[in-house]
Amino acid sequence: MTGTGTKLDPYVIMTAADLNQTETLGGSGVYFALGADIDLGSAPSGADFQPVVLNCAGFDGNGYALRNILAGIPGGSVSVFYVPEGITELSVTDLSLENAVIRGRSVALFRSAEECVLDLDHCQFLFMMSVHSNVTGGDEDGFFASQTLTVNMDLCTVAARINWNQQRMCMKWGTISHCQFRLEVESSRMTSTVGSAWALFRYATVADTCFFIKLDDLRGPTVSKTMRIAYSETTFANCYFVIWSDTDIRVYIGGTMTSPSFYDAQAVGSAVIDKSYTSDSYRLLGLTTAQCKDAAYLRSFGFVCGGGES
């Protein structure tokens, strides 16, 4: 591995073997960078996968990707990335995660040993996730990040196919700006109540971000079902939602709208969008598909958008 581990001359990771040295070579003042795409091609069971230890102050993906991760521990805790003790601030930039499959009782993309501020910039995360347990007390980790992490995301994409028994948090603390979330969610135990502790976002500030969420209820039409995007602690500004389901699921977007946001009211399928848990709900508009694509119309009610006129 070349480099000296400083910010101007980071350790350059070229192979999976190099990646395994981040724990021993790292520290709170150490920097790493990828110098190539890395295929982690785990064994079929995935039980031997060890998380990528982000023992550093900065990890620069340089536009390269970590690919083909299979991590599965039935009844255990699983994560792709792990932030060890002693790392309280960490920056990850220009990193792609591709074809990651994660299965377990407690599953998170990022997990940390103690409280840490994680800054993600220009990153892309493509993964599949299965969580084999029921929510019990509201203290479960988020599927994107554990509760010990404050995550600040800018210009990132999260594309995930998720199978869970009950709804899980995505992340509890942080800020999200100029991002995309594309989620396909299958659930085998949706219920009529989803507490605030399990909303996708809790204490988050979200701006200039779009959400595309497809819901599939595997239980069938036996009970009323809900999904909660956010609760009152979350604020949204200038956000766009496309939420679809072919079954009767009531989706609470929630949160406080500090500036106009909107959702496509014609693309919901059998889902019902509910704003009763949304403060300033008059700023959350249900539009036709054509209106969602009309930049001039969006600007007319204060939504900030780029691109040309339709």
Domain boundaries, the chain: 190-310
pTM to 2 decimals? 0.92
pLDDT digits (tens, 9 = 90+) for 176-224: 999 999 999 988 766 666 666 678 998 999 999 999 999 887 666 666 7
Q: What is the pLDDT of residue 310?
A: 42
Distance CA 302, CA 102 (A): 40
Length of the chain: 310
Q: Which residues of 236-257 are buried (b: 16+ CB within 10 A; e: fewer)?
A: bbbbbbbbbbebebbbbbbbbb
Are 179 and 149 within 8 A, CB to CB?
Answer: no
User: Who has greater pLDDT, 241 or 276?
Assistant: 241
Lowest mean pLDDT, pick from 142-146, 241-245, 283-287: 142-146
Longest CA–CA span in the chain (Å) reads 60
Name the β-bridge partners of 194.
Answer: none
117-158 pLDDT, tens digit each: 999 999 999 999 988 776 665 556 788 999 899 999 999 999
